[in-house]
């Protein structure tokens, strides 16, 4: 199932759509928490603070959008309120772990340097993914005249990607070679996530 077809099925079922918004909210919140966890105890730059704040705001915004569909659902991030909850919870964690292993093998980094490098590469990969996913989602929302909108998130994610490129340029001249490995790792994990959601959505259709 293509991403477009999957999102179309999701948007046209209110209960599933609410869970999808909650799942995206969970992912944005998890991303914000990971950015904060990667901060140096004292050497924290403005862009890192901005990213963490904006990802938290995205999580809040998406959570609020659920109220436009159903005010009595998805109150928290417990398993029953997420799509493909296991794959959703593992996605960012696995990307972080696999990225750290790769960077440890390629660079001589202290613990704090590794945290920062992981922040750069993981965030870049996630922003590339967001730049693909959110516009498709918005296209379908517009097609079905949904009350839900993610245009503001799209604009901010585009800005994040530009900022990550600038930071990666300062980190390593050869970062584009290394990021290709990270993007491949992310692509595999993303496909597993989408496959898990697709299976769950198809099960819901047949019930």
Q: What local confidence, expressed as pLDDT, does residue 126 receive? A: 94
Give the number of other CB atoms < 10 A from CB of residue 117: 24
Report in angstroms the alpha-carbon separations of 190 from 5, 35, 91, 186, 187. Answer: 16, 19, 7, 6, 5
Output the tens digit of pLDDT for each of the chain's 207 residues: 899 999 999 999 999 999 999 999 999 999 999 888 877 778 778 888 888 899 999 999 999 999 999 878 898 999 999 999 999 999 999 999 999 999 999 999 999 899 999 999 999 999 999 999 999 999 999 999 999 999 999 998 888 888 999 999 999 999 999 999 999 999 999 999 999 999 999 987 765
Q: Write down the pTM of the prediction.
A: 0.94
Distance CA 57, CA 117 (A): 24
d(CA 15, CA 40): 41
pLDDT of 206 reads 60
Distance, in Å, from the CA atom of 153 to the CA atom of 134, rounded to the nearest integer, reads 8
Inter-residue contact 131 to 138 (CB < 8 Å): no
Question: What is the full DSSP assignment across 165-187?
Answer: HHHHHHH-TTHHHHHHHHHHHHH
**Alpha carbon distance 28, 23 (integer Å):** 9
- What is the pLDDT at residue 36? 86
What phi and psi values does residue 160 have, to the nearest 5 degrees? -60, -40
């Amino acid at each position: 199932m293509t991403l477009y077809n999957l999102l179309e099925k999701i948007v046209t079922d209110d209960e599933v759509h609410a869970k999808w918004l909650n799942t995206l909210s969970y992912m944005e919140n998890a991303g914000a928490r990971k950015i904060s966890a990667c901060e140096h105890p004292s050497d924290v730059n403005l862009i890192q603070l901005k990213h963490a704040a904006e990802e938290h705001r995205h999580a809040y915004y998406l959570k609020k959008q659920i109220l436009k569909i159903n005010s009595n659902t998805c109150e928290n991030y417990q398993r029953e309120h997420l799509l493909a909850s296991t794959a959703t919870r593992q996605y960012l964690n696995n990307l972080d772990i696999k990225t750290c292993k790769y960077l440890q093998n390629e660079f001589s980094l202290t613990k704090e340097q590794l945290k920062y490098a992981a922040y750069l590469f993981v965030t870049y990969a996630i922003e590339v993914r967001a730049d693909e996913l959110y516009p498709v989602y918005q296209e379908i929302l517009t097609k079905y005249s949904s009350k839900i909108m993610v245009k503001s998130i799209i604009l901010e994610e585009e800005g994040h990607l530009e900022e990550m490129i600038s930071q990666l340029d300062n980190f390593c001249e050869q970062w584009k070679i290394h990021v290709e490995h990270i993007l491949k790792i992310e692509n595999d994990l993303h496909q597993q996530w989408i496959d898990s959601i697709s299976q769950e959505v198809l099960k819901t259709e047949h019930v």
